[in-house]
Amino acid sequence: LRVLGVERDLQGKRVLVTAGPTVEAIDPVRYLTNRSSGKMGYAIAQAAALRGAEVTLVSGPTALDAPRGVRTVAVESAREMLAAAEEAFARCDIAVFAAAVSDMRPKNPASRKLKKGAADAELSTIELVENPDILSTLGNAKTSQVVVGFAAETDDVIENAQVKLSKKNADMIVANDVGGSLGFGTDDNKVWLVSADGVLDVPRLAKSEIADIVLDRAARFIEK
């Protein structure tokens, strides 16, 4: 079945996508975050919906419009993202973890605004604790879901992606080289798709085209 020239090959499938950064409160006006426009994750959510999937997008704060035909759940912190993703994961066929999750969060976020230059130096040191790893938590709990992660690397891109593939029990890792000018905030990207059966070198393409290639490969892992 084709609608407006798009193959509805994901009709009847449920797809979960995490996207954007997370923000971790320091106090009511300050936070810790990651560099992420959300464009890659939103492109995957949009592409999956156009191909007929029922899509849940769990997104940290971005400047993007919610993709059409997608159920978008807005979250802020990594822990909120995990809770929302966990719920959708249980009944999804493909889960794509494209979010740039903050690895750490302030241990004791203040309920009042901290003051710079305070005698007790309350803003000069922020104690951090590690956030849950959403991909790893759900990858290691998967039953029949196809699990796709991302890896943003500046060095040894493919080797680091292979380590993440096995540690996080993913079926595929979309590896990005973030050392150069591509990746963050751009409309196109250069990636490698790393899975147990090998590495696919994808040329520089629009994020919308990369989204379709990622979904093509992921769909092959769905147990028939």
State the nearest-atom distance from the C-beta of 160 to Ca ion, in Å: 11
Q: How far apart are CA 201 and CA 207, in angstroms?
A: 15
Q: Are 116 and 63 in contact (CB under 8 A)?
A: no
Q: Which residue, 114 or 202, has its beta carbon nearer to ligand CTP?
A: 202
113 is in an annotated binding site: yes
150 is in an annotated binding site: yes
State the nearest-atom distance from the C-beta of 98 to ligand CTP, in Å: 6
153 binds Ca ion per the rule CB under 5 A: no
Cβ-closest position to Ca ion: 103
164 is in an annotated binding site: yes
In this structure, the number of other CB atoms found within 10 A of the CB of residue 219 comes to 18
86 binds Ca ion per the rule CB under 5 A: no
Binding site for ligand CTP (CB under 6 A): 78, 97, 99, 101, 103, 131, 133-135, 149-152, 164
Q: How far apart are CA 51 and CA 45, in angstroms?
A: 10
Q: Which residue, 39 or 164, has its beta carbon nearer to ligand CTP?
A: 164
Q: Are 93 and 9 in contact (CB under 8 A)?
A: no
> For residue 218, which of 15, 2, 68 has the smallest C-alpha distance?
15
189 is catalytic: no
187 is in an annotated binding site: no
Q: Which residue, 114 or 170, has its beta carbon nearer to ligand CTP?
A: 170
Strands 2-3 and 6-7: antiparallel
State the nearest-atom distance from the C-beta of 184 to ligand CTP, in Å: 13
Among ligand CTP, Ca ion, none, partner that 38 touches (CB below 5 to 8 angstroms by kind): none
109 is in an annotated binding site: no
What are the residue ranges of helices labelled H in 21-178?
39-50, 78-89, 134-139, 157-167
Query: Which residue, chain included where needed, has tokens 């150069």?
Result: 180
Applying CB under 5 A, which of residues 76, 103, 122, 153 lies at the interface with Ca ion? Answer: 103
State the nearest-atom distance from the C-beta of 201 to Ca ion, in Å: 23
| Ramachandran class of 84: left when φ > 0, alpha when ψ lies in -120 to 50, beta otherwise | alpha
The b-or-e profile of 168-181 (16+ CB within 10 A means b, else e) is bbbbbbbbbbbeee
Q: Which residue, 48 or 114, has its beta carbon nearer to ligand CTP?
A: 48
Known binding residues for CTP: 103, 113, 132-135, 150, 164, 168
Q: Which residues lie near Ca ion (CB under 5 A)?
A: 103
Which residues have a catalytic role annotated?
A: 34
